[in-house]
Structure 1
């Protein structure tokens, strides 16, 4: 084993040991199921902000976004990032405080539980539908994280992809099952810091190695469409492909997904005081702008390094239309950094720990949300199985492990695209939960019939658009989130208006929370 590999392994082992230690310490404060799933509503503003954003910025921050920018230029990645920045700010502005106040008043600890109590759904229909959709979309989302870890270690050490993926999954499950939501939130806070340091360090190294900022810009300008927000670079024809208004709108509409992300919404619910959310919003918004901006620029810098001959080409000649290989950009850069001596190897290990951080910070939160949906919302509330506190905790942890196993199965193929998997799951959550979340907080005429119809139509449209409409190509080749979100929004309004109005009790609760917020 080389000196560079030893240095990398030391950094990563120290990082992983630290995450497990945080999980162990957090377990001391996890006394019951409510603590396990919501941390006792005692997160501070900094942890709330940074854990929310770290759990959002999964492996696509350090792998998906730079890889996409490296592969086709700034348009695809750029419009997506602009949408994410706008969505982040608006979600904190319009959703956070009202949801925090509403869920505290209703004593709801999960998103499906909130919908059940918000609409007084005694038959648990909303609870069941919400829990099932969380499982359907969180399993592949978690799989994207495991896939990123597998690619990381396989590319770095030449070890078996599946073995690396399973090992990473075991670590993530280890600290999450130990400390629950509190462990996930505290580790996410630490991971956001590691991710930020990794981005800045790799970007600086890349610019210097590529010959300076002027060389980076000159190289990007020499590639047709690469620096154009209205075109993408075609690697096969070495030409620019038009990037039309519909593509821009649908990629910008990634921001709509925030309103329906359970693992982000749970952070709003868990802060100790709703008055602290304003500070959290500012912290989160600034971090998102910097992190996404650097991720896009890193892809451009990586392409310049390839042209300069100091970085291997990450366009797969056997599959030149796939960005999967390009997603290993930061891994290849870290490996190159490690070859400059033991100290640089330790720094490279920190960069790779940043990739692990981006992956783990999302996977742990997703596992918590999926686990709560099964053990709390399905087993106990929908099926009416009463569990003791000890049995409920055991069920929660067993469910978390089961979801992780399914994620490993989905991510088994090393050719799977991190960005592709995340985009589908993101669309699913955005369309299923986003419209009903906004309307439940701001339109008192919304009722349970509209909520049920909206969630089902939004989820169904994601599948219909992706697998039946989008393959038609042309103007129909649009990201599925925007049309699915719009359909769900219309269905909720129409169905709510043609069915009985909510009971006075529900309306009074709505007005009370509105005044609080």
Structure 2
């Protein structure tokens, strides 16, 4: 059972997050402010909220656990994510910020549909279905991480941990909407950055430095020298790892941050901040897994779950007050992503379904409250999926990431940069990509090549060929 110091620290942190929601409740007066913060978010908050919502619980739980188990085979994932982050900020962010404002689009589905002149909204509807499906899975992964954290940290039953962590998110997301999620992400991103530096440094010395860690890794048949570790150079592992970076262009909860910044001219500042944060955070997560091997040579010392290595390191190496702060960083990683996903899912239901199904004139107050109710609906469904404590965070995240990346990434790039793209071309390619992701995953082929890669490639080729041969004719403007 955790000490009272950790309980107090955790309690203060949860109250602080909910207070942010209460603060922004009074400032959320229009539907656009609830959905997109009136497109007035500063570059610091834009950068930190984008990256905090990107790096979910897998940064402090899933990735270190995978490194602890498999060593530096995860280095290609890190490289892929770093490259994807940069390219996303460089090429998608400015174009998306300008074009979504031009078409007065509040969501990704509505933007694609409006720009491609899909008058009947088929793209908007299909996109919304894909978003709701994969975001429910993605949100469930965060709730799984929450349950594991409360179970390991406070001795609270796993299922109650899912509900407590999720319940806190519901409060500030329900009340404060987009601005509340952005500002909580900002503070959470700062806390995550602090923790990902402090913990591996302490673990390095506790694990006996380079010699102690190397010895422990060799005992697990893992080498610090990637040139001696043959698995690292396996072509399927390289392709699959780098393939993670392809997903960035199509992650709605990340690219929505580009749509809300106050000015496109400020995006270069956000990009610089984001890249520094990502580079250090990813290296830190790798370091947690490696140094964890030196401190805990046997996985049984962590209850048999490698994804708890960060939690057990904090328990072992820090006094209760500092441990409480560092544990809050893990909760930050979990909450920052779930809140963004719940809000995007809610906005999708509100903007892409309710707004078009209910034909009468709707007030801002009505749209805000419909959005708030949708937040609760998505949370309930995700909570049911998360009730299995044996679920692996990284597995759930990877499937959802592949879904968004495979279906949306090529579409976003083509929509932003190709003129006269036919909406039927895009709809057909999205359907093909969705089938590819699900079929590749269920067939077991994802054990060889990450399902993101074939879906992205097939989606891109489909768009190119369908447009080249004008299968659907010329798009009518």
Same fold (TM over 0.5): yes
Please name the residue that 1:494 is paired with. 465
2: distance between equivalents of 1:435 and 1:386?
Answer: 35
In the alignment, which of 453, 474, 487 is matched to residue 428 of structure 2? 453
| Structure 1 SS opposite 2:214 | helix
Please name the residue that 1:402 is paired with. 377
Cα distance change on mapping 1:146 and 1:361 into 2, 3 Å:
same
Q: Which aligned pairs between 1:172-321 and structure 2 lie closer than 5 A?
A: 172-227=169-224, 229=226, 244-307=234-297, 313-314=301-302, 316=304
2: distance between equivalents of 1:162 and 1:226?
Answer: 37
TM-score (norm 2): 0.96
| 1:334 aligns to 2:334 (yes or no) | no
In the alignment, which of 481, 484, 508 is matched to residue 455 of structure 2? 484
Deviations 1:449-503 (A, max 9, x none): 11101211111110011112517x6xxx211000001111111122233222234
| 1:389 aligns to 2:389 (yes or no) | no
In the alignment, which of 129, 137, 141 is matched to residue 140 of structure 1? 137
How well do the aligned residues superpose, as a CA RMSD in angstroms? 1.8
Equivalent residues, number: 475
Please name the residue that 1:322 is paired with. none
1: distance between equivalents of 2:125 and 2:461?
Answer: 22
How far is the alpha carbon of 1:200 from its aligned partner?
1.6
Is the Cα contact below 8 Å between 2:97 and 2:264 reproduced in 1? yes
1: distance between equivalents of 2:127 and 2:228?
Answer: 38
Is the Cα contact below 8 Å between 2:112 and 2:124 reproduced in 1? yes
Please name the residue that 2:72 is paired with. 74
Please name the residue that 1:28 is paired with. 26
1: distance between equivalents of 2:466 and 2:402?
Answer: 22
How far is the alpha carbon of 1:25 from its aligned partner?
1.3
In the alignment, which of 407, 411, 430 is matched to residue 436 of structure 1? 411
Please name the residue that 1:319 is paired with. none
Please name the residue that 1:413 is paired with. 388
1: distance between equivalents of 2:302 and 2:137?
Answer: 25
How far is the alpha carbon of 1:375 from its aligned partner?
1.4
| Structure 2 SS opposite 1:73 | helix
| Structure 1 SS opposite 2:390 | coil
Please name the residue that 1:321 is paired with. none
| 1:123 aligns to 2:96 (yes or no) | no
Deviations 1:291-346 (A, max 9, x none): 00010011010011123x8x963483xxxxxxxx10011111222235xxxxx211
Please name the residue that 2:53 is paired with. 55
Is the Cα contact below 8 Å between 2:85 and 2:275 reproduced in 1? yes
TM-score (norm 1): 0.88
Cα distance change on mapping 1:485 and 1:382 into 2, 3 Å:
farther
How far is the alpha carbon of 1:354 from its aligned partner?
0.4
Of stretches 290-299 and 327-336 in structure 1, the one that deviates more from structure 2 is: 327-336
Is the Cα contact below 8 Å between 1:78 and 1:229 reproduced in 2? no
| 1:362 aligns to 2:330 (yes or no) | no
Deviations 1:264-284 (A, max 9, x none): 110000000000001111110
| Structure 2 SS opposite 1:120 | coil
Q: In structure 2, list runs of 5 or more residues that go unmatched.
A: none
Q: In structure 1, list runs of 5 or more residues that go unmatched.
A: 233-239, 317-324, 339-343, 506-517
In the alignment, which of 111, 117, 127 is matched to residue 114 of structure 1? 111
